[in-house]
A and B are shown apart, each in its own frame.
Chain A
Amino acid sequence: MPLEDAIVLGISRMSRVLAIDAANRVARVEAGITNIAISQAAAPQGFFYAPDPSSQLACTLGGNIATNSGGAHCLKYGVTVNNVQGVRIVLMDGEILDIGGDYLDAPGYDFLSLIVGSEGQLGVVTEATVRLIKMPEGARPILLGFGSAEAAGACVAGIIAAGIVPVAIEFMDRPAIHVCENFVHAGYPLDVEALLIVEVEGSEDEIATLLETIAEIAESYRPLVIHASQSGAESALIWKGRKAAFGAIGQISDYYCMDGVIPLSKLPEALHEVGRICKRYRFDVANIFHAGDGNLHPLILYNANDPAELERAELCGAEILKLCVSLGGCLTGEHGVGIEKRDLMPVQFTPADLAQQMRVKTAFDPSWLLNPAKVFPLEGRDLK
């Protein structure tokens, strides 16, 4: 969202693949490339780029770097910061800097940690070297349906405590399941309050063993449905439903999508409270999110044409995010702070915490010209 007196600098025309280096398992690409195009370019050699946000058809790597994007499969493979080995960045004084590259650890300070997730405030990333991962022999999801969000949440903790880190654990509540099923006909069970999509990878035998173990664990949480995908086509459909979820819900209502994160053990409590908050603001809510890492995406359903409803939805959303922080989590897991959440930053951070971050911004961009209105509250910026 540009400010009225700002210049918009787009990178979408810098979208080339510069090198696929199979021997060193990296790709060098320009930052305007779409996320999916990296994996497509690496596919002929059997590799892929791991972070896979739902918007991967449209979103650029540069944007992924700005918000440290994750995606359904980041439970196993990590988020953007774990998959970028180097960047070329243009600083505000016009200097072009290469940081890291086709070796694993960059020398000196870990500038990549600061740049990834900085919402474009430190410089303009024009190229990146990203890690490529060999495609697994196979992958298959299992659907686990439960009578309550509590049972589903406890099952997630049970799976992880048993020493299994699946490649993905996705959660949908009843409203989300129904909308997605109507939209895609993925075969989701309709008579459950909560659905987990748990995916594992490996050879056919490895997958069978893991899914069997997961099903056994799930049995302790009184599941209503346990159904492992039986074919590649069915797996594709199950994921199509999940990835189309936001679009499907958009067909029935405007929605305001939240992105708070909570510690996994607080999942049942968080969902209960989110429901209560939305009810108080007289909104329906659909929950669909990455359960393995506690990244909630409550969708507040409202009417965007009614300014009063929009205002109420924003208040409702802010309350949900404050709840996430009070449960030990954070305001945003992968969407970024932007302008929307900047005034909530003091909920999570003290003035000293924010001052230290802002001093880093100043080190890169002394005049605060890059995305100046984002991330930090407008008050309290005059640092000594």
Chain B
Amino acid sequence: MTGNLRLGFHAPDSSAELAHLVAEAADARTPIEVRGRGSKHGVGRPVQTGSVVSTERLADVTLYEPSELVLSALAGTSLAEVERLLAEHDQQLAFEPVDLGPALGGGEGQASIGGTFATNLSGSRRVLSGAARDHMLGVRGVNGRGEAFKAGGRVMKNVTGYDLGRALVGSWGTLAVMTEITMKVLPAPAETHTILCFGLTDTSAVEAMGLSLATPFEVSGTVHVQAPLTERFSDPDIAKGRGSVTAIRIENFASSARYRTAKLKQRLAAYAPSAELDTERSRRFWGEVKRLVMFRGSERPLWRISTVPSRAAKLVGTIARTLDVRAVYDWGGGLVWLETELTSDAGAIEIRRTLAEFGGHATLIRAEPASRASVDVFQPLEASLMSLSAKLKAAFDPAGILNPGRMYPGI
């Protein structure tokens, strides 16, 4: 037994060293907090470990082939740096990763690429282009035994063995430490147009968004922001208090974006689309949505709810009968960001009880550590799924040392 991992903060500068640290921890059964650049440290159930292993010094883009739509980066590489590099080649991460920084009271652009995939926090374009998990092609990582392994690869189609890389997306560092990620990238659209409707009720807005997504115009974002959250946007038309705003995004080459926007506006006539943002204003607006500026500077609990799109307005309406809430609907209603009043359980009981009726699940994104320790931050799973989750955890991390309890007690 070699187990004598020092307590404290470790930032290895090679994956071999990282594997060695994890192996030591496994031998000694010493739990470790797995961290990227720490920007989402305040999300999830608080992890109580004596040691932190961070990937922040594993930072480099190791492969970028624009004509193959593929990029590989070490896990600690700054997301902002990856996005900057892609932009130089008119490409992007099409899942539009959400930046939780401002909503968590931190800065913008602090996330790592590893943390981005480990949390699967996909943005507005998810309705057209898929989630972070859909852009994961391959991974190198270290399991809870301290063994380095790889899965997937760098090609777009691959059914050679199990898709372990994709399975690590959204596992919050509880299964393995990702050290290098290979991802699919896509061309950035030449033009972005946004249709705005003001003052719609949540119910009408969800209808309008659903209608937009059921057209052939490849709508790449639909968001409905309740007033007064609209005041946080920098665009004066949106901020100046015309009630809620519903925004529908079209992206493509110039003539197509113009054509589709005009056609879609006709179809949305019943919802009185009254304004349009050009490319520059559109990008600023959707950039602010991606950075969740609507929730900046508040300490009220913030939930991220995934539900059946067509039932979203009714879901929120039902919760609003007992809790004071403010909502932003994304993904045509399939994703609801819900800010609730400060109560001892952050509204967990009411939200989860309502979800049981409507379908879907809720994650507590922002709350005081005391709340996060006492309520279920991630949606409790039914017993059989929880039991399978425990078996999967043991298949990767039999000693249970990687981010123990971050998602679920005992996992």
Contacts and interface: CB of A to CB of B under 8 A. Distances in A.
Nearest to B156: A293
B361 interface: yes
B46 to A, nearest CB: 19
A333 interface: yes
Interface string A201-214: 01101100100000
Given A110-B171, A134-B214, A337 B160 contact: yes
A116 B339 CA distance: 35
A251 interface: no
A336 interface: yes
A263 B395 CA distance: 31
A103 B157 contact: no
A202 B256 contact: yes
A337 B149 contact: no
Given A101-B359, A375-B161, A134 B133 contact: no
Contact of A134 (B216, B256, B306, B407): B216
A308 interface: no
B222 to A, nearest CB: 12
Given A294-B155, A332-B160, A165 B394 contact: no
Interface string B119-154: 010100011001101100000000100011111011
Contacts of A264: 65, 67-68
Given A97-B388, A113-B133, A353-B150, A108 B379 contact: yes
Interface in B144-180: 147-151, 153-164, 166-167, 169-171, 175
Contact of B155 (A209, A263, A353): A263
Nearest to A356: B149
Interface string B369-386: 000000000110100110
B384 A95 contact: yes
B252 to A, nearest CB: 8
B389 interface: yes
Given A134-B215, A353-B151, A209 B334 contact: no
A292 B394 CA distance: 38
A117 B163 contact: yes
Contacts of B175: 109
Contact of B134 (A23, A75, A78, A350): A78
A25 B214 contact: yes
B157 A333 contact: yes
A105 B122 CA distance: 10
Contacts of B381: 107-108
B241 interface: no
Contact of B308 (A99, A102, A116): A102
A33 B210 CA distance: 27
B172 to A, nearest CB: 10
Contacts, number: 241
Interface stretch (A156-164, A188-196, A242-250): A156-164
A104 interface: yes
B379 to A, nearest CB: 4
Nearest to B134: A82
B108 interface: no
Contact of A333 (B155, B306, B307): B155
B273 interface: no
B392 A67 contact: no
A70 B158 CA distance: 10
Interface string A347-365: 0111011111101111110
Contacts of B334: 24, 103-104
* Residue of B160, B188, B334 with highest tally of chain A CB at under 10 A: B160
Contacts of A293: 155-157
B335 A113 contact: no
Nearest to B213: A25
B68 A160 contact: yes
A101 B379 CA distance: 15
Nearest to B380: A107
A332 B175 CA distance: 26
Contacts of B329: none
A67 B162 CA distance: 10
Given A163-B187, A263-B65, A352-B147, A107 B155 contact: no
A68 interface: yes
Contacts of A382: none
Nearest to B252: A206
Interface of B: 65-70, 90-91, 120, 122, 126-127, 130-131, 133-134, 143, 147-151, 153-164, 166-167, 169-171, 175, 186-188, 190, 210, 213-216, 252-253, 255-256, 259, 306-310, 331, 334-335, 359-361, 378-379, 381, 384-385, 388-389, 391-392, 394-396, 407-408
8 contacts: A67-B159, A104-B331, A158-B67, A163-B187, A165-B187, A209-B253, A345-B160, A360-B392
Given A46-B214, A160-B68, A264-B67, 6 more contacts: A102-B359, A107-B306, A108-B385, A209-B255, A360-B392, A364-B391
